[in-house]
Amino acid sequence: MTDILSRRDVQFMLNEWLDVSRLAGRDRFAGQTVDDWADVLELAEQVASEQFAPHNRKADANEPEIGEDGRVVLIPEVAEAMGVLGETGLMAAAMPEKVGGMGLPMTISSAIFAWLHGANVSTAAYAMLTAGAANLLLANGSEEQIETWVEPMVAGRFFGTMCLSETQAGSSLSDITTKAVPQDDGTYRVFGNKMWISAGDHELSENIVHLVLAKIPGGPAGVKGISLFIVPRFLLDEDGGPGERNDVVLAGINHKMGFRGTVNTVLGFGEGEHRPGGEAGAVGYLIGEPHRGLAYMFHMMNEARIGVGLGATALGYTGYLKSLRYARERPQGRPLASKDPADPQIPISEHSDVKRMLLAQKSYVEGALGLDLYCSTLVDDEATAPTEEERNRAALLLEILTPIAKSWPSQWCLEANSLAIQVHGGYGYAREYDVEQHYRDNRLNPIHEGTHGIQALDLLGRKVTMHGGAAFGALYETIGETIAEARAAGGEAAELAGSLEAALARLAEVTGILWADRNPELALANATVYLEAAGHVVIAWIWLEQFLAAAGKDGDFYDGKRQAARFFYRFELPKTAPQLDLLAGLDRTTLEMEDDWF
């Protein structure tokens, strides 16, 4: 097996910390066992290692291109890997059995995708987008739409995309200009262009189901006038298979520094190259009610945000494991106490600064994976917890943790990739080693599905204040429960709890200061600093949880967990103090900067 993830760590998180066995007793997962899930994860590791990892570098070196016939050309291994993934059913692991899925907990599905992302994030993106599009339709589509579009997606025959951004709009979705004109038969004709559409055109599947944001003429202004449409690449024939070509045109391919194996496209809708029935416009089908498209799309966007964080984590994790193996195998230098040049060299993993870099990586990636899997348990609890109170609490926690789960791994697991390059020395930036590609791939994740700045505004401007601060209160209370448990355990756990308690209290205090005057412009001026500080507090909490789960257990694995927790508390958590002090001072430096001063 390749260095993708630590199977032992995944088992620890799922079984010894999160105790996924509790999910097996719920009605939705009736008949499933922990042993079943272990078998599925072993299969995921095998598929990742044998089908995804081997072509990771090849896909990076051979970017998608437009062939002479106007079709997207990908290396054949991508289709082969996706075919195997479809045959195993892993892509639809968490989808209901009634549509052909496996009906597994989201927590297990996330662990599956962690293996796939770590092995080959570019190929895994096709699966992630398809699963997200299918889940959106399951939540918001009609029964006919689910039967028509979701079931072929679950079977791996159709793939899916999300079409939001436009060249002139970017993340400002209120400014999109794509329009959807209603027709007498209940369909719509869609006109416009979409930019940055991952998996927007290819020959991997029989059809591509585009989920497109557009405005119906005469609707409300801004985001309140956005609707959501199914716009397939091919219209369907009487048997539900691909028929006439829809007026969806590949206008170009974007060339990226990473994720190169995932084709990223510019799409034109209603360009006139393929006129279904001889009429202008791409045929679209309204999802749900008019003008509620952005609310529906957030179902996929939030799932994608957690998925981006998971992908960032997996890239950081595989880079960490590869740098660890390299450090253990690379002899260089001698102990500082050595006086004899004839003494044998030691592996660089024995040098203190290399230990620092490896420990930092370990603390980032294992902390991030813990957050990813914890958020996945919240998805399961929101849907299946036995009481309404538990379901509502899970929903609140998921709301406030989603921007952190997207942004923190995207920032700090990217830093792990940077440290992996550093551990390799000059070899780290040579293309013969994987770690430089992992860095390039991961550098896209701080931008994917909303930048740090957007996530920061969401966290501090919406999630912290929602329902009168109920989500922040739920998080504060939940972290407090862990602190109380650690204090009761005594010893080092209690010491860590004391540090976390102080940081949490300061975060709460500063949150109050920021919103005391109810001035959004001032409160949000340094929202990104708030996101970084809050993220570090949350990861410190995740590490205290893992520290407690390892308590009283002997062996190198558990010793490593404890040491990584110590590192995070001593090297990382203290970074929040000056950040929170800056925020408490209501600093106006960025707010008062004039454009002409740059």
3-state SS class at 198: strand
Asked if 306 contacts 146 with a C-beta cutoff of 8 angstroms, the reply is no
User: Can you tell me the distance from the alpha carbon of 223 to that of 175, in angstroms, rounded to the nearest whole number?
Assistant: 8
In sequence order, the 6+-apart residues with CB closer than 8 A to the CB of 14 are 20, 37, 107, 108, 111, 373
Catalytic residue chosen out of the listed positions 449, 532, 545, 572: 449
SS3 string of 368-419? HHHHHHHHHHHHHHHHHCCCHHHHHHHHHHHHHHHHHHHHHHHHHHHHHHHH
Secondary structure letter of residue 277 according to DSSP:
G
Cα distance between residue 495 and residue 397, in whole Å: 26
CA-based torsion, 162, 165, 170, 171: positive or negative? negative
* DSSP assignment string, 169-184: TTT-GGG---EEEE-T
Q: Are strands 158-163 and 207-215 parallel, antiparallel or unpaired?
A: parallel
Cβ atoms of 298 and 99 closer than 8 Å = no
- Spatial distance between the Cα atoms of 284 and 182, rounded to a whole number of angstroms: 9
Beta bridge partner(s), residue 72: 66
Euclidean distance between CA atoms 388 and 376, whole angstroms: 18
Torsions phi, psi for 345 (to 5 deg): -70, 160
In the chain, the amino acid numbered 314 is: A
What are 393's two structure tokens?
Answer: 């609490």
**Burial (0-12, 13-18, 19+ Cβ within 10 Å), 504:** buried
Strands (E), 141-261: 158-163, 179-182, 188-198, 207-215, 226-232, 234-236, 242-245, 248-253
The 3-state DSSP class for residue 216 equals coil
The pair of structure tokens assigned to 305 is 């945000």
Residue 63 is a catalytic residue: no
Question: 3-state SS string over 56-89?
Answer: HHHHHHCCCEECCCCCEECCHHHHHHHHHHHHHC
Q: Which residues contact 229 (CB under 8 A, 6 or more apart)?
A: 180, 188, 190, 211, 212, 213, 214, 284, 285, 286, 287, 293
How far apart, in whole angstroms, are the C-alpha atoms of residue 463 and residue 457?
9
The residues assigned a catalytic role are 449
